[in-house]
Amino acid sequence: MKKVLVANRGEIACRVLAALREEGIRSVAVHSDVDAGALHVRRADEALAIGPAPAAESYLSIERIVSAARHAGADAVHPGYGFLAENADFARAVEDAGLVFIGPRPETIRLLGDKRRAREVARSAKVPVVPGWEGDASDRGGAARAAEAMGWPVLVKAALGGGGKGMQRVSRREELDAALDAAQRVARASFGSAEVYLEKAIVEPRHVEVQILGDGEGTVVHLFERECSLQRRHQKIIEESPSPALSAKARKALVKAAVAIGEAVGYRSAGTCEFLLDQSGDFWFLEVNARIQVEHPVTELVTGKDLVRAQLHVARGEGIGFEQEDVQPRGAAVEARVYAEDADHGFLPQAGRLLRVELPGGPWIRVDAGVAGGDAVTVHYDPMIAKVIAHGPDRASAWRRLARALDAAVVHGPVSNLDFLRWLVRREDVLAGEFSTESIETVMLPERAKRAASHDLLAVAAALAERFDLAADGAGPSAAGGSGSGASLRRAPGPFESLAGWRHPGLRGGNA
């Protein structure tokens, strides 16, 4: 494998590029017109323009990406997460073009992409599945009877969906038909299929997931679990490992279940088995994400294993690279996602130029950023700025380190959720590990809305800056190159970026 095309952008593209550099593999980035000067483009050995800003015409275009891979002479394609990562047709197209797809087999992606079939796989592996019903949704009588038997409330989910997208919650029989209609409409529009299924709505569940790696030849290892209950509208905000809610016995059963599911499909590459933990501590299979995930750094820090490099090894036919006994967790890690979102106004995504992005370094802190000062956050893609992850010998110290790191971070430009994160990581319930997937929306945000925040000291700082002319002028970092002046201080490269010895000479083959 001499050259890999990274079919993504932002922080995950940068992450994959770092792994490629460590492996001595030449990298090709792809970018839309508006991303021509983006960080992932600057970090790659070569870059190809693949279309205008709208994702449908660039990062989601199977044709353009496969054609770019061929044009660049790539041997393999890494899909990242999101975009085409779980598009079985894309994986198939890459393989049909004679290239290696760095991920699961296309059939596995297709199988697990149908959440009903994924539930069947779990059942066949003797894993408890969230009580539900996968009958024909046009059989409204059958659906209603099943829902009554499960007990209200029930959830209507898209079969080809995932992550709660398009989900409808139904509390009474009278609402079921309308909810089925709505869910089917959304499903058809978003996923191309109106197939839906029902699941019992578990009360105040916790979201706990297990990282797996398979060699595609029958061996599947797990890398323990991540707790991802701190989420809002099914968007994770903070993730950690280990889960504070699992007993040793429950953990053992959970990871065993995840491996069983992976083995049942002969899983290849990285994946995550998601479960819901109910209030009695029992777990129920939810779905499998057949891709590398946003929160993978949490697992990497706790286990010391490089998941992306493991994907590369598997893709080269070299196996996972380690055995289950080699996976020994140490301490705890917690990740916060910094987004350009206005947390005080419905988390509306924000766009604009980043005047300054100073993310903390230091021991025990890892930062995975997709942007630097001077770069723009646009409306076309997700507004992620960076992931800040802290590691510690125990949960309390990891969270403390994360809090200090967030305090030291500066993101100026579009409104970000940084202040919200700083507030969240100090909450007693959060530090005690006492929350469910509903806590942020039902308990925490209402409290935040009522708080009386004082900005007097910040006003003093602003006034002092006026009086003594201390403010940096952020008015104009240069456009295309993203190379800011003055105020756009850049983060110093971390260890993953500065392994210069692995870079090929003659870098930057330039934009074709």
Partner 1 sequence: MKVVLRLGADVHEVEIDDAASPLEARITAGALSGEFRVTPLGPGRFRMSSGARTWLACVDREGALRHVTVEGEGEARFERETKGRRAARDAHPGDLSSPMPGTVVKVLAKVGDIVARGQNLLVVEAMKMEIQVSAPAAGWVRAIHAAEGDPCDAGQILAEVEPAEETT
Residues with catalytic roles: 291
Order of strands across the sheet that contains 46-49:
100-101, 76-78, 3-6, 26-31, 46-49, 510-511
Burial of 60 (0-12, 13-18, 19+ CB in 10 A): middle
Give the shortest CB-468-to-partner 1 separation in angstroms: 6
Residues in contact with 85: Cβ distance below 8 Å, sequence separation at least 6, in sequence order: 8, 79, 103, 291, 292
| C-alpha 292 chain-centroid distance | 8
Side by side, which strands form the sheet with 196-200? 132-133, 196-200, 154-158, 168-170
Least CB distance to partner 1 at residue 417 (A): 11
Q: Are 242 and 299 in contact (CB under 8 A)?
A: no
Nearest-angstrom CA–CA distance, 105 and 92: 8
Query: What is the closest distance, in whole angstroms, from the C-beta atom of residue 490 to partner 1 in the complex?
Result: 12
DSSP code at position 293: -
Contact criterion met (CB below 8 Å) for 267 and 212: yes
Least distance (Å) from partner 1 to the CB of residue 29? 29
Answer for the pair 29, 316: CB distance below 8 angstroms, yes or no: no
Q: What's the closest the beta carbon of residue 155 comes to partner 1, in angstroms?
A: 37
Using the minimum distance from each CB to partner 1, give the nearer residue, 416 or 436: 416
- Nearest residue (CB) to partner 1, 57 versus 419: 419
Q: Cβ closer to partner 1: 461 or 499? A: 461
Identity of the residue, 132 or 484, whose beta carbon is nearer to partner 1 in the bound complex: 484
- Beta strands per DSSP E along 216-339: 220-232, 235-241, 268-277, 283-289, 332-339
Report the nearest approach of partner 1 to the CB of residue 497 (Å): 23
CA dist., res. 198 & res. 150, Å (int)? 10
Please report how close the Cβ of residue 210 comes to partner 1 at its closest, in angstroms: 36
In DSSP terms, 277 is beta-bridged to: 206, 283
Query: 213 by DSSP, 3-state: which?
Result: strand
> Measured from the CB atom, is 32 or 350 closer to partner 1?
350
DSSP 8-state symbol, 325: G
Report residue 198 as tokens. 């029902």
Our CB check for partner 1 shows the closer of 56 and 463 to be 463
Residue 174 vs 456, nearer CB to partner 1: 456
Residue 406 in contact with residue 317, Cβ under 8 Å? no
Binding site for partner 1 (CB under 8 A): 355-356, 358, 407-408, 410, 412-413, 415, 418-419, 422, 453-468, 470-475, 486-487, 489
Residue pointed to by tokens 């970026």: 497
**Secondary structure element (H or E) that encloses residue 439, with its range:** helix 439-439
Residue placing its CB nearer to partner 1 in the complex, 216 or 474: 474
Residue 420 token pair: 């919200």
Q: How near is the Cβ of 67 to partner 1 at its closest, in Å? A: 40
Give the residue with the Cβ less far from partner 1, 232 or 356. Answer: 356
Q: How far is the CB of 403 from partner 1 (least distance, A)?
A: 10
For residues 89 and 97, give the distance between their C-alpha atoms in angstroms, rounded to a whole number: 12
> Cβ distance 223 to 310 under 8 Å?
no
Q: Cα(297)–Cα(501) distance, rounded to whole angstroms?
A: 24
Task: Choose among 3, 264, 232, 247: nearest CA to 129.
Answer: 264
